[in-house]
Each structure stands twice: as structure tokens, then as C-alpha cells.
Structure 1
Amino acid sequence: MITLKQTIISWLFLIILTFSSVYIGQVIETPEYLIALVLLIVFLKGQQVTDVFMELRTAPKMWRLLLLGYVFIIPAVICVIYLL
């Protein structure tokens, strides 16, 4: 069971990641680094949503791995397509 404190910490982490992606978008001028960093942030945010807000950390492993796989594979495919 996820506690209120864990939820608030996760929410603050998501806010920090969102502001970080905006900041990175304004500071980094190299598109390759920008795409890689923003997609890394997307993965971290997806992992937080899956584990904390959907509470799949304690769910059967298949469901957790399916959603985390989706969160990992889609940004990776986007990164490969963009960088080629």
C-alpha cells in the first residue's frame, strides 16, 4: 500500500521532472542530446506513474512489466527514429 507521504514525494518528483524537461528544452541546443534527455525524463515519469499512482509495484509482475515495457519501448523507438 502506498502512503500519502510516498504519493506526495512522487508527485513532487514528477513536477521537478516536468520543469527539468522545460529547462533542458531551452538550454540544450544539440537536438540529439535534447531528445535523449527528454525521453529519459519521459521514462522516469512513466515509471513513477506506473509504480506509485497506478500502484503496480505490488501487482503481478506481468502487468507491471507490460506497462514498464511500454514506457521503455515507445521512447526508445522514438529516439531511434528521430536520430536516424
Structure 2
Amino acid sequence: MSTSNTLILCWLGLAALSVTSVQLGNAGATLLMTGSVLLVALGKAWLIADGFMELRHAPRMWRWLLLSWPVVLAAGVLLALLFS
């Protein structure tokens, strides 16, 4: 697949995930919905790292660092919500 087709598919995926997160956010403010929004956000982070930034073929350390940071942030948000 050419680079432009890959970027178009990534853009469409990000648009779909953005609409999904907005719809989930409007569904309610429960912990389950918050977790669902965070999972969609993690999917968007993965799509940005692997699709737009093209880290699929990068060294493992860089890919691991960039993909683990959103997981740490999502865990921090969930922990803050659980203990508040």
C-alpha cells in the first residue's frame, strides 16, 4: 500500500475514533464510560504512533516508549477517578 493511502486510512480511522469518543462521552459519566473513552484514546495514540509517525519499523525502544506513555496517562486518570 502506498504511503498516501496509508495516511488516508489513518486519518479516517482517527476521525472514526474521535466520533466514537465523543459519543461515548455523551452517553454518561460512569466509570465504565470513562474507561471506554480512555481505551478509544489509547487506540488513537497507537494509530498516530504507528500510522502517522511510522514507528512500525522503528527500534523497539522508541516504539515502546511512545506507546507506553498513553497507557501510563490513562492509568493515572483511572486511578485519580477511583480515589476521588
Q: TM-score, normalised by structure 2?
A: 0.89
RMSD value over aligned CA atoms? 1.6
In the alignment, which residue of structure 2 is the partner of 1:48?
47
Contact 1:2–1:55 at 8 Å: present in 2 too? Answer: no
Identity rate of aligned residues, in percent?
A: 36
Tell me, yes or no, if structure 1 residue 17 matches structure 2 residue 23: no
**Aligned positions, number:** 83
In the alignment, which residue of structure 2 is the partner of 1:78?
77
1:39 CA displacement = 0.5
Write the distance in 1 (CA, Å) between the matches of 2:25 and 2:68.
Answer: 26
Gaps of 5+ in 1: none
Gaps of 5+ in 2: none
User: Which structure ranks higher in relative contact order (CA pairs < 8 Å, sequence separation ≥ 6)?
Assistant: 1
Write the distance in 2 (CA, Å) between the matches of 1:2 and 1:58.
Answer: 16
Contact 1:17–1:45 at 8 Å: present in 2 too? Answer: yes
